[in-house]
Amino acid sequence: MEKHSSVYLVDIDNTLANTWPSLKDYVYKNENHRYRSLPIFIGMRDFIKNKAGKDVKVIFISARSYFSYSVTCNWLIGNGLSGGSVILVAKPDDKLEYISELLYRRINVVYIDDLSHSHELGMMQLYEELILDLKQLPIQYLGVNEIDLINSDYESINQSVKESIQDH
């Protein structure tokens, strides 16, 4: 990777994949079955596809079990994204290690992650301390508000397309 290229680190659950409803009504035989069934946010998918290119590397990073690696890669590919750059970590805080490594290598980082939890309990909460730590770093951080805008902009612009797709 070139010294001055940019890396987009993109979270999957509740950022790219509409995950929380699958936790609320858990009707799956296991986690991999649940991951395979997740719908994608079209706005975020298209945003990422438009960013990926010669000067931008996209890496997907998610707090999931390593046993879900293949399912995660296949889900990305099945949704029109590259499944070749995936990092799975044990917990959200572990993502900071990868951001720090990229910064050490003097790579521009754009980090896209809702950093939220407990949606399925009816009370979305943010990982406030982690977000504060991220805001101290020389990165561009797109959080829950920016993610919502990316997805809602797509939905409002493409509402008629969405309705016609649902009819088929």
Q: Which of 15, 31, 3 shows the shortest CA–CA distance to 107?
A: 3
Q: What is the pLDDT of residue 55?
A: 87
Token readout for 154 is: 């797509």
Confirm whether 106 is domain-assigned.
yes
Confirm whether 1 is domain-assigned.
no
Q: What percent of the chain has pLDDT over 90?
A: 62
Confirm whether 44 is domain-assigned.
yes
SS (H, E, C) 121-139: HCCCEECHHHHHHHHCCCC
Q: What is the pLDDT of residues 7-53, one digit of tens each?
A: 999 999 999 998 887 777 767 678 888 899 899 999 999 999 988 87
Q: What is the pLDDT of residues 76-91, one digit of tens each?
A: 999 999 877 999 999 9
**Pick from 35-44, 111-120, 158-167: least confident:** 158-167
* Distance between CA atoms of residues 151 and 154, nearest Å: 5
Beta-bridged to residue 1, according to DSSP, are: none
Confirm whether 105 is domain-assigned.
yes
| Mean pLDDT value across residues 102-108 | 94
The domain total for the chain is 1
* Distance between CA atoms of residues 88 and 66, nearest Å: 6
The CATH number for 134's domain is: 3.40.50.1000
Beta-bridged to residue 113, according to DSSP, are: none
Q: Which domain covers residue 28, as residue numbers?
A: 6-166
Burial 13-23 (b: 16+ CB within 10 A, else e): bbbbbebbebb
Beta strands, E only, the chain? 6-10, 56-63, 86-89, 108-112, 116-117, 125-126, 140-142
